[in-house]
Amino acid sequence: MPKSISILFLFLMFGCCTDLKEKEKMEKENLRRAESYVEIIWNNKDVDSLNKFFSSNFVRNVNNIDMASDNSELAANIHNLFIAFPDLHLTIDHIKASEEMVLIDFNIKGTNTGPYGDLGVTGKKVDVNGLSRIDFDENGKIIHETIYYNELSLLQQLGYELNEPKID
């Protein structure tokens, strides 16, 4: 093999390995960030640490509804959940990271001992599964979080029923 082709081959291989190592490094860092976010914010209930994880211009979407677009809205939203379910605990069942995002298959358990929105206290335990997609910006801050969970299952576990609509 001519010397110029050998050098080109080595150059391409080195660049490929460097890119692969950088990709793996970003995936590990995003995985660490997401796990830390879950542990600190959700399980330690340290809402004051939101600035550590979220970009100033993020959007949090829950079941296709924009729930928060700044830290004060997000803090209020999370705080309301902690009032409704003071023993709330989030478990990561499965997690997958890429260079830009993390997918988390999660489970939340808790006991409803405080008001949940307009709903009264039921004293019932809930066990809800969901999926969260967390997107990071170039600084490693969360720029977008999309969460899906079965809200009907949650309400049924709290004792509420879905009734047929009345048709006139």
What are the extents of the domains in the chain? 3-157
- pLDDT above 70: percentage of residues in the chain: 89
How does strand 142-149 pair with strand 125-136? antiparallel
114: CB partners within 8 A, 6+ apart: 83, 84, 85, 86, 121
Q: How many CA atoms lie within 13 A of 158 on its CB side?
A: 24
Between CA 126 and CA 49 the distance in angstroms is: 26
Report residue 67: phi and psi, to 5°: -100, -30
For residues 134 and 152, what is the distance between their CA atoms, to the nearest angstrom?
Answer: 23
Looking at domain 3-157, which CATH architecture does it have? Answer: Roll (3.10)
Residue 91 in this model has a pLDDT that exceeds 90 = yes
Evaluate if residue 9 carries a pLDDT over 60: no
Which of 59-73, 121-135, 151-165 tops mean pLDDT?
Answer: 121-135
Beta-carbon contacts of 4 under 8 Å, excluding residues fewer than 6 positions away, are none
Query: Which of the four pLDDT bands, split at 50, 70 and 90, describes residue 162?
Result: confident
pTM for the complete prediction? 0.82
Alpha carbon 93 to its chain centroid, in Å, reads 12
In the chain, the percentage of residues whose pLDDT exceeds 90 is 69
Residues 6 or more apart whose Cβ sits within 8 Å of residue 3: none
Q: What is the rounded average pLDDT of the residues 131-157? A: 95
Say whether pLDDT at 82 is over 90. Answer: yes
Q: Cβ contacts of residue 166 below 8 Å, gap of 6+? A: none
3-12, 40-49, 113-122, 140-149: which range is least confident on average? 3-12
pLDDT of residue 99: 82
